[in-house]
Amino acid sequence: MPIDLAQPEFFDPGATERELRRQFEVCHGCRLCFNLCPAFPRLFDLIDARDGRLGEVTRAQLDEVTDLCYQCKLCFVRCPYIPPHEFALDIPALLLRDKAARAHQQGVTRQDRLLGDPDFVGNLGAWTAPLANWANKNRLNRLLMEKAVGIHRGRLLPRYHWETFARWWGRHRHKQVGRAPNEPPRRRVAFFYTCSVNYNNPEIGKAAVAVLEHNGIEIIVPKQCCCGMPQLDGGNIEAAKEQAKENLAALAPLAAQGYDIVVPGPTCSFVLRHEYPGLLGSTAARDVAARTYDLGEYLIKLAKEGQLATDFSVSPGKLAYHAPCHLKAQRIGLKSLELLRQLPGAEVVFIDKGCSGMDGTWGMKREYFALSQKVAGGLLRGVQDAQPATAVTECPLAALQITQGTGLAVLHPIEVLRRAYGLPEP
């Protein structure tokens, strides 16, 4: 389900609307996705109010449906009519195209420009970390932020760290860790650490490095920027394309040298795998996609090849695991769940109660905050009912939602694995 910029009418509003109506007509007759997100119930309500006459739904009302889609991609996973079926439905790609056509015609909103640039916001937050973290909890500042850029005053925001993962790596890379000096690495990994890890959760990146080095893997951290998904969320295709080009310039030579590209965030691994080939349409983009792995997927690959160290010494106890939507959308299976269940003494409860309702920047916006929490209701109840010692997910924004809704701190699976190995925390 990649973006296809090769379509000659990709940004044409009229062609986009015709395709919206064609695909929505099929959805109306199927309704298998009625409970996945707010977009489908709104669509079906609009059609039902007109006795099934989709042609009477206005363009403005179609915009409402598009704006309620937060690109979880789960409808594509469930849909029986995806290509190569003759109906050729791809609702996530179509609604992303609709946002892009609108942005191309009307411009990208100030809200989407800010939320779509985590490198700018992250660098600012990191350099002013104590002040930024205080301001994000200050009621007056949050009111001003809500009015200025539309981030809801009640949304729990991630913390910033002066020592980003990239700064930490700059010190760490000069040390030899994890294997004897003359022992060759078993594998070579290019670590695409993600914006969230860099600015907000550097401990996840440090845990990934510790675990990979413990398994004798050589790690390099190439120059990188945001994967581009936040820009896609706002319809800013050209900005996302430029970010993809910048990342590809660093990753493609490494893929050609045999490095595996390992990503701790499922949204970013999804974009590298499924969006870059369509955005750039190049052999290099397809080569990078072919060598990209989700971190949990990569570790299970090692385990199945008998190359994952099993010297676990600490039981993680009871865990409640939430699988992010963008991990499910990759159709690679729930590798982190499989990995966690292999840890001695682990009791893992799989919370399969739907989406977290955050999905990039959507759940932060003033207009969708309450709806986001409603979407997350099943997940939050599932975590509370499990009464775990630790909640676990790969998605940093789902982690925010879980913490806000339950009060629990949330770990990435790689942090659980580091503790199970008994490796020291930096």
For residue 65, what are the domain limits? 13-106
Per-residue pLDDT band for 24 (boundaries 50, 70, 90) equals very high
Asked whether residue 426 is domain-assigned, the answer is no
Q: Looking at residues 105-116, what average pLDDT do you find? A: 86
425 C-beta neighbours (distance < 10 Å), count:
10
The predicted-structure confidence for 229-282, as pLDDT tens digits, reads as follows: 999 988 899 999 999 999 999 999 999 999 999 999 999 999 999 999 989 989
Asked whether residue 406 is domain-assigned, the answer is yes
Predicted pLDDT of residue 43: 94
The predicted-structure confidence for 142-178, as pLDDT tens digits, reads as follows: 999 999 989 999 999 999 999 999 999 998 876 644 4
Q: Give the position of tokens 């409808």.
A: 75
Asked whether residue 342 is domain-assigned, the answer is yes
Q: Give the position of tokens 């949330």.
A: 410
Asked whether residue 234 is domain-assigned, the answer is no
∠ CA 25-26-29 to the nearest 5 degrees?
90
Alpha-carbon gap, residue 16 to 20, rounded angstroms: 6
Last-in-domain residue among 50, 73, 106: 106
Nearest partner of 264 among 244, 245, 292, judged by Cα? 292
Residue pair 200/165 in contact by the 8 Å Cβ criterion: no
Please report, for residues 37, 49, 273, the alpha-carbon distance to residue 422 in angstroms, rounded to integers and kept in the order given: 40, 59, 33
Predicted pLDDT of residue 318: 95
DSSP H or E run through 319 = strand 318-322
Last-in-domain residue among 57, 81, 106: 106
Predicted pLDDT of residue 185: 62
Please report, for residues 25, 110, 112, 133, 394, the alpha-carbon distance to residue 363 in angstroms, rounded to integers and kept in the order given: 28, 17, 13, 19, 17
Asked whether residue 159 is domain-assigned, the answer is no
Is the pLDDT reported for residue 183 higher than 70? no
Please report, for residues 55, 352, 396, the alpha-carbon distance to residue 369 in angstroms, rounded to integers and kept in the order given: 31, 22, 17
Instruction: State the DSSP code for 261.
Output: E
Alpha-carbon gap, residue 426 to 421, rounded angstroms: 14
Helices (H), 200-265: 202-214, 229-233, 237-256
Is the pLDDT reported for residue 330 higher than 60? yes
Alpha-carbon gap, residue 288 to 404, rounded angstroms: 36
Predicted pLDDT of residue 8: 75
Alpha-carbon gap, residue 242 to 226, rounded angstroms: 10
Asked whether residue 165 is domain-assigned, the answer is no
Last-in-domain residue among 106, 123, 152: 106
Q: Looking at residues 24-28, what average pLDDT do you find? A: 94
Asked whether residue 415 is domain-assigned, the answer is yes
Residue with more model confidence, 359 or 222: 222
Q: What is the CATH number of the domain that holds 413?
A: 3.40.50
> Which tokens go with 11?
């940004």
Q: Which residues contact 212 (CB under 8 A, 6 or more apart)?
A: 178, 189, 191, 219, 262
> Which tokens go with 361?
């920047």
Helices (H), 282-388: 283-290, 295-304, 325-328, 335-340, 369-375, 377-386
Predicted pLDDT of residue 112: 87
Instruction: Provide the domain count of the chain.
Output: 2
Asked whether residue 405 is domain-assigned, the answer is yes
Residue with more model confidence, 354 or 337: 337
Predicted pLDDT of residue 240: 93
Is the pLDDT reported for residue 184 higher than 90? no
